[in-house]
């Protein structure tokens, strides 16, 4: 059943999300990252929409070639280069790994080679920047709007293809979800784990690459642009590069673990993931770096250190909370959390074929403080990126606003799902751990 609120939200996002991305990027390109000035110009009649549009760079052959090469290169690394990192990096889990059990009871296998793809891509980037000079390190910044059109084309193409595939040739028909509402199905997806062949998994590929591999390259390109424009890279730009770099590396270091997170093991693949990974993520998660090209903020040492500490504490909480749940689930509770045996609630649920499964919900460690303390850490880190940009404009703060909405909505969505799954056992859990994000407040 698709309720009216969900349908209205979906229609809103389908219509406005591409415009929001365009508005942010255009306001940097034409208005020095002011979000107010374009509106003022339009409302006062100083400019017409056509004036803004006419100044917007269009799709170019160069951008199309760069983007095609980029995506093709990531496909090549994903499909044709089996992971070798796990063979020599101690503690890294890569190579062939199993995902979670799907609602239809399927366990998919994945080739986890994202860290390797990230390393190869970045080695090539640095080799080019310092040695080969095939292209300028500012190439991404210099083609940013033409590349936006390419990313949109891919985002819409892959979401539309996924929908058609869901109807005509699904990878696993039993894991498809049809609500009967076209817009909902297009946005939230029909197929659970669409694949081409044995290994090309849409969710794993689009979730991590090309978007997340590109994230650090985009930031490097912004840093290179600062260097070109001002003869130096500011400490704020370095902070954003370092803190977001840690977040990206963490993603690839834990790619096998991400197979058990909501995006991969609960969401179906539609426009939300397809377009979101191609356009929303690379364009809006990197707004701080883009802003700093136009406003090269120089932070005093105390502020820079304060922001670094906030970012690192946020990252620590994010990582440790995720680690505690992972360890707890992997060992089925036979582990130590903060030096003690973990406390938990036993629970059970049924899959669609009527099989009964048992699970455990931990109530100690960070999971005893709040039900989503990993999100709290994530939000602290996100705030740190924004603070690095100073207080002159609101544009760089979009990220923390967006992440707060995303993660709060995710809390509610996840809890709704967990309640449907575990029923009264979930109620016992929420009674034992009453807060969601901030103990004593929410």
| Shortest reach from residue 329's CB to ligand NDP, in Å | 6
Q: Report if residue 359 touches ligand NDP, rule: CB under 6 A.
A: yes
Extract the runs of DSSP E, i.e. beta strands, from 185-281. 195-196, 200-201
Choosing from 56, 160, 172, 261, the residue that interacts with ligand NDP (CB under 6 A) is: 261
| Shortest reach from residue 262's CB to ligand NDP, in Å | 4
| Shortest reach from residue 359's CB to ligand NDP, in Å | 5
Q: Report if residue 374 touches ligand NDP, rule: CB under 6 A.
A: yes
Q: Report if residue 322 touches ligand NDP, rule: CB under 6 A.
A: yes
Q: Residues in contact with ligand NDP, total (CB under 6 A)?
A: 17
Extract the runs of DSSP E, i.e. beta strands, from 262-403. 344-350, 356-362
Quote the distance between the C-alpha of residue 269 and its chain's center: 14
Residue facing ligand NDP at closest CB distance: 261
CB 396 within 8 A of CB 389: yes
| Shortest reach from residue 361's CB to ligand NDP, in Å | 4
| Shortest reach from residue 337's CB to ligand NDP, in Å | 11
367 or 385: CB nearest ligand NDP = 367
CA separation for the pair 392, 395 (Å, rounded): 9
191 or 378: CB nearest ligand NDP = 378
HSE, side-chain direction, 13 A CA sphere, residue 116: 24
124 or 406: CB nearest ligand NDP = 406
| Shortest reach from residue 376's CB to ligand NDP, in Å | 9
| Shortest reach from residue 167's CB to ligand NDP, in Å | 28
Choosing from 141, 202, 318, 398, the residue that interacts with ligand NDP (CB under 6 A) is: 318
116 or 322: CB nearest ligand NDP = 322
Q: Report if residue 267 touches ligand NDP, rule: CB under 6 A.
A: no
Binding segment (CB under 6 A) for ligand NDP, from list 144-152, 224-232, 350-358, 373-381: 373-381
51 or 346: CB nearest ligand NDP = 346
CA separation for the pair 431, 176 (Å, rounded): 34
Beta bridge partners of 356: 350
- Tell me the three state secondary structure of residue 232: coil
Binding segment (CB under 6 A) for ligand NDP, from list 158-166, 236-244, 291-299, 317-325: 317-325
Quote the distance between the C-alpha of residue 157 and its chain's center: 19
| 8-state DSSP, 128 | I
Structural element, H or E, at residue 187:
helix 182-188
CA separation for the pair 84, 410 (Å, rounded): 34
| Shortest reach from residue 260's CB to ligand NDP, in Å | 7
CB 342 within 8 A of CB 362: yes
Binding mask 119-158 for ligand NDP (x = CB under 6 A): ----------------------------------------
Alpha helices in 32-60 (DSSP H): 36-43, 49-55
Q: Give the sign of the dihedral formed by CA 192, CA 198, CA 202, CA 206.
A: positive
Through-space distance between the first and last CA atoms of the chain, rounded to whole angstroms: 29
CA separation for the pair 223, 52 (Å, rounded): 27
Choosing from 295, 325, 393, 436, the residue that interacts with ligand NDP (CB under 6 A) is: 325
26 or 112: CB nearest ligand NDP = 112
| Shortest reach from residue 406's CB to ligand NDP, in Å | 6
Preceding amide of 210 cis, omega within 30 = yes
| Shortest reach from residue 68's CB to ligand NDP, in Å | 26
CA angle, 261 as apex, 109 and 199 as ends, to 5°?
25
CB 308 within 8 A of CB 386: no
Q: Which residues, 6 or more positions from 309, have their beta carbon under 8 angstroms from its beta carbon?
A: none
Q: Which among 193, 129, 183 is positioned nearest to 8, based on CA atoms?
A: 183
Binding segment (CB under 6 A) for ligand NDP, from list 90-98, 227-235, 366-374, 393-401: 366-374
291 or 375: CB nearest ligand NDP = 375
Q: Which of residues 398-427 bind ligand NDP (CB under 6 A)?
A: 410, 414, 418, 421
CB 149 within 8 A of CB 58: yes
177 or 410: CB nearest ligand NDP = 410
Q: Which among 292, 256, 296 is positioned nearest to 385, based on CA atoms?
A: 292
Write phi, then psi, for 347 (nearest 5 degrees). Answer: -145, 165
Q: Note the residue count of the chain.
A: 442
| Shortest reach from residue 410's CB to ligand NDP, in Å | 5
Q: Report if residue 378 touches ligand NDP, rule: CB under 6 A.
A: yes
Interface positions with ligand NDP (CB under 6 A): 261-262, 318, 322, 325, 359, 361-362, 367, 372, 374-375, 378, 410, 414, 418, 421
């Amino acid at each position: 059943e698709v309720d009216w609120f969900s349908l209205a939200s979906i229609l809103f996002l389908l219509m406005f999300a591409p415009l929001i991305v365009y508005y942010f990027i255009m306001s940097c390109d034409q208005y020095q990252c002011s979000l107010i000035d374009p509106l003022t110009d339009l409302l006062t009649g100083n400019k017409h929409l056509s004036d803004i549009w006419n100044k917007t760079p269009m799709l170019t052959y160069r951008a199309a070639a760069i983007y095609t090469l980029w995506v093709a290169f990531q496909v090549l690394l994903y499909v044709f280069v089996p992971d070798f990192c796990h063979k020599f990096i101690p503690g890294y889990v890569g190579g062939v790994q199993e995902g979670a059990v799907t609602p239809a009871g399927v366990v998919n296998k994945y080739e986890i080679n994202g860290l390797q793809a990230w390393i190869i891509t970045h080695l090539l980037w640095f080799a080019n920047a310092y040695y080969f000079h095939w292209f300028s390190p500012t190439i991404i910044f210099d083609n940013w709007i033409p590349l936006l059109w390419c990313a949109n084309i891919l985002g819409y193409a892959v979401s539309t293809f996924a929908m058609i595939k869901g109807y005509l040739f699904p990878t696993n028909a039993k894991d498809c979800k049809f609500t009967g509402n076209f817009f909902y199905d297009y946005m939230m997806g029909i197929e659970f784990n669409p694949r081409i062949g044995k290994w090309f998994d849409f969710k794993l590929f689009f979730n991590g690459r090309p978007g997340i591999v590109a994230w650090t390259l985009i930031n490097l390109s912004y840093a290179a642009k600062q260097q070109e424009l001002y003869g130096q890279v500011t400490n704020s730009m370095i902070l954003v590069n370092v803190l977001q770099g840690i977040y990206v590396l963490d993603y690839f270091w834990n790619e096998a673990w991400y197979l058990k997170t909501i995006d991969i093991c609960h969401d179906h693949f539609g426009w939300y993931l397809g377009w979101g990974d191609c356009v929303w993520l690379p364009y809006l998660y990197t707004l701080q770096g883009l802003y700093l090209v136009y406003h090269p903020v120089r932070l005093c040492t105390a502020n820079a250190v304060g922001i670094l500490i906030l970012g690192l504490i946020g990252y620590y909480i994010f990582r440790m909370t995720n680690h505690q749940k992972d360890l707890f689930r992997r060992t089925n509770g036979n582990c130590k959390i903060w030096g003690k045996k973990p406390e938990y609630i036993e629970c059970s649920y049924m899959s669609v074929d009527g099989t009964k499964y048992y699970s455990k919900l931990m109530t100690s460690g960070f999971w005893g403080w709040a039900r989503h303390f990993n999100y709290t850490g994530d939000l602290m880190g996100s705030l740190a990126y924004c603070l690095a940009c100073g207080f002159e404009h609101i544009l760089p703060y979009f990220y923390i606003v967006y992440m707060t909405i995303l993660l709060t909505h995710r809390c509610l969505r996840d809890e709704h799902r967990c309640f449907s799954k575990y029923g009264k056992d979930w109620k016992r859990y929420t009674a034992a751990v009453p807060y969601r994000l901030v103990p004593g407040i929410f």
